[in-house]
Structure formats: C-alpha cells, structure tokens
Amino acid sequence: MDYYKVTLVILMVKLNAEMKETFAKIKLFPVATASKSGVPNVAPIAFVLLVSDDTIWLADNYMHKTLANVKENPHIAIYLWEPDSRKCFQIKGRVAVKTSGPDFEKMKATVKAKKDEYPAKSLLVMKITEVFTCLPGADAGKKLV
C-alpha cells in the first residue's frame, strides 16, 4: 500500500515600507488569538517588535489567555491603526513560543532594559503569512500580501 507524505508549507510574506513605517508608530497593539475550539481573545500588548520584514516578536509579561490560545492554536492577528496617517493593516501569522535560547534572551534583555520588574516569561515569534487593509471603502478587507 502506498502512502503519501503530506507536508505543510507555510509561505511567509514580508511587510513593505509603508507597513513597516506604520508599525513603527504604534505604541499598543491589539493582538487577536483563538482557542482550539474557536473562543476568541483580544489583548493589548506593548512589547511588540518587528525584528525582520517577515518576523514579529511579542514579549509575554502577563499573558494568560493569549499564551494558552497560541499553545493550542498558533494562529494570531495583529491590528495596526495609525490615526495621523490614516493607515490601517491587519497582520496575520503563526506563532512559536520560546522560553530559552538566544532570541528569548535578547527579548528578555530588551524588556528588562525598559522596566526591570517586567517578568519577560516567554517570547512569541510570529512569522507573517498575510497582510490585509482594514480601511473602510471599496477595498476594505483586501489582501495586500
């Protein structure tokens, strides 16, 4: 009997200059997750870093539902709204949780440099898979990359 091996391939996408410029202006990021059974959660997260054109780091200082959700269901969405420029993007991706290693230690040092009392318990590494516009109008919800 022949068996076919199924390989899941996730294509990463890169943020363009306009998206990165908008990202840099955001101070607090609404981050959406869902449990394995589909129960949604949105949490405001301040320690969100764009580390490359296709990777975002989220520092876990006080995550409860968000962390539980991504451990069950690694899909995540981040909402960017910058009112001065009227730019709005929804970034979707997949997350891996790290609690050790060089990336975790670098994130922990970054968090501790801001405020030593923050626990920096884990690092969520998000690989960007899709970006959508969320401005109202004819292109609302249009996939950009």
- The pair phi, psi for residue 110, each rounded to 5°, is -65, -45
pLDDT score of 1? 47
Is 71 contained in some domain? yes
Is 60 contained in some domain? yes
Domain extent at residue 102: 22-133
Is 80 contained in some domain? yes
| CATH code of 70's domain | 2.30.110.10
Average pLDDT, the chain: 92
Whether pLDDT at 11 is above 80: no
Q: Which residue type, as a one-letter code, is found at position 87?
A: K
> Could you report the per-residue pLDDT of 81-118, keeping only the tens digit for each?
999 989 999 999 999 999 999 999 999 999 999 999 99
Whether pLDDT at 9 is above 60: no
Task: Enter the tokens of residue 110.
Answer: 């970054």
HSE, CB side, 13 Å, CA atoms: give it for residue 17.
0
Task: List strands edge to edge, sheet with 87-98.
Answer: 40-45, 29-34, 75-82, 87-98, 122-133, 55-60, 48-52
Is 46 contained in some domain? yes
Is 111 contained in some domain? yes
Is 138 contained in some domain? no
Query: 127 with 118: CB under 8 angstroms?
Result: no
Whether pLDDT at 79 is above 80: yes
Is 123 contained in some domain? yes
Is 9 contained in some domain? no
- Domain count for the chain: 1
